[in-house]
Structure 1
Amino acid sequence: MKFSFKDSAKWSFFIAIVTLILSSSFSIVSTFALAGVSFGIGILIVFVIIFIGIFFDMLGLAAASAEEKPFHAMAAERIKGAKQAIRIVRNADKFSNFCNDVIGDISGIVSGTATAAVVLHLMSNIGIKQNTFLYSLVSVAFTATVAALTVGGKALGKSFAITNSTQIILFVGKFFSFLEEKLHIFIFNGNKKGKQKARGNNGFKSN
């Protein structure tokens, strides 16, 4: 596997900008979504954020685990999404980086912030002030529960991703095929050969 500092630097800069934009967007959306909502709706929003992190973590691991060969056979049979799946596997490092490190980490940070907002809203409604033992106890309990759900969910997702990597990446390939056909958006575009050489050459590209 040949390392290219120039290509890696370009990708690092690009993904840093994407992370900045997405993290800001996630934070703004979650803040507005939680403003004035009931405790039940707030908890539901936190669960949705957790699920997003688990789902993308699963996609990233599936890309890293999938082999290219089955998709060549599917492409020969003209199965929709197979060609796009090949490109995903060839760019597994970038796809995994985006799914696991960008979306996954952002979801973890936002879910923590959202949990704090939900706890604050709940405590305010029942008249319990901050900096009290009960407030701290409830905050720790909620934070620990969110952490447990996140870690447990990701563990389950990893097992599923490893055993079903081909099906998962084909599903994503079909989605990418839809983007290409309907919206003319090409997520990965290039001619890298083989999974080992797929590390570090192509990034996201829109036409």
Structure 2
Amino acid sequence: MKSIWKESIHWSIFIAVITLVLAAIFSIVSTAFLSGVGWAIGMLVVLIIVLTGVFFDMIGVAATAASEKPFHAMAAKKVPGSFQAMLITRNADKVANFCADVIGDISGVVSGTAASAVVLQLTFSAGASDGSALQFTLNVIFTAVVAALTVGGKALGKTFAITKSTSIIFQVGRIFYVIEEKCKITLFKKKRKKDA
């Protein structure tokens, strides 16, 4: 029991540090990018950030919903990506935490900040001043639309993730396989005979 808590604490500290670094990177990149573009491109950037959060949330849900058994059979037949998919389902709690909580929550925060920057650009392009009624109205509209797209997208993504969990995780496993085999980057420890 102590080892489970010890591992959980180590993971929590590790993921908190990763979140801090990723949130800073996402924020810097989005702010730098939005400062050099117009409001129309800014809206597109906000949409991409929202879709990124929805996509990773879907992977996190699929990881917890998928069964490990189909990947055992595929791994026995040496199907590329099946071993990685099996390890994803085996570590579903960590995968879901990273995808849904870290990337999903960061995307939510950054999309809100980016939406505020777009509202500011749109306000100034319309000739209104900061703190005007137009800015207030646009801010309410943008915040509501971003929230609706995020929640609605995640609801749709969750349904898709639960019904197609095996296919989704297998595709993610194939991506990891390509990264490991083609790019020579080790993502998983090689214990194929024992794990398969």
- TM class by shorter chain equals over 0.9
Q: Which amino acid aligns with 1:120?
A: L
Moved more, 161-170 or 31-40: 31-40
Q: Which residues in structure 2 correspond to 1:181-192 (within 5 Å)?
A: 181-189=181-189
Query: Which residue in the other structure is 1:81 paired with?
Result: 81
Matched, 1:18 2:18: yes
CA contact (8 A) 1:58 1:157 kept: yes
Q: Which residues in structure 2 correspond to 1:146-157 (within 5 Å)?
A: 146-157=146-157
Q: Which amino acid aligns with 2:142?
A: F
Identity %: 57
CA contact (8 A) 2:43 2:118 kept: yes
TM superposition score normalised by structure 1: 0.88
TM-aligned CA deviation for residue 137 of structure 1: 1.1
CA contact (8 A) 1:85 1:173 kept: yes
TM-aligned CA deviation for residue 123 of structure 1: 0.3
RMSD: 1.8
Runs (5+) with no aligned partner, structure 2: none
Rounded to whole Å, the distance in 2 between the matches of 1:73 and 1:3 is 31
Query: Which residue in the other structure is 2:33 paired with?
Result: 33
Rounded to whole Å, the distance in 2 between the matches of 1:155 and 1:186 is 33
Query: Which residue in the other structure is 1:133 paired with?
Result: 133
Secondary structure of the equivalent of 1:4?
A: helix
Q: Which amino acid aligns with 1:110?
A: V
Rounded to whole Å, the distance in 2 between the matches of 1:93 and 1:109 is 22
Runs (5+) with no aligned partner, structure 1: 195-207
What are the Cα deviations for residues 124-173 of structure 1, in whole angstroms up to 9, with x where unaligned?
11111122222111110011001001100001100100000000000010
TM-aligned CA deviation for residue 6 of structure 1: 1.2
Rounded to whole Å, the distance in 2 between the matches of 1:118 and 1:135 is 10
CA contact (8 A) 1:39 1:122 kept: yes
TM-aligned CA deviation for residue 186 of structure 1: 3.2
Query: Which residue in the other structure is 1:52 paired with?
Result: 52
Rounded to whole Å, the distance in 1 between the matches of 2:144 and 2:54 is 17
CA contact (8 A) 2:85 2:173 kept: yes
TM-aligned CA deviation for residue 77 of structure 1: 2.0
Rounded to whole Å, the distance in 2 between the matches of 1:174 and 1:185 is 14
Rounded to whole Å, the distance in 2 between the matches of 1:131 and 1:62 is 43
TM-aligned CA deviation for residue 106 of structure 1: 0.2
Matched, 1:62 2:62: yes
Rounded to whole Å, the distance in 2 between the matches of 1:91 and 1:184 is 22
Secondary structure of the equivalent of 1:93?
A: helix
> Compared with structure 1, are the counterparts of its residues 190 and 101 closer, same or farther at alpha carbon in structure 2 (3 Å cutoff)?
farther
Rounded to whole Å, the distance in 1 between the matches of 2:68 and 2:2 is 19
Query: Which residue in the other structure is 1:119 paired with?
Result: 119
Rounded to whole Å, the distance in 1 between the matches of 2:93 and 2:39 is 39
Rounded to whole Å, the distance in 2 between the matches of 1:185 and 1:11 is 22
Task: State the 4+ residue runs in structure 1 displaced beyond 6 angstroms.
Answer: none
CA contact (8 A) 2:123 2:134 kept: no
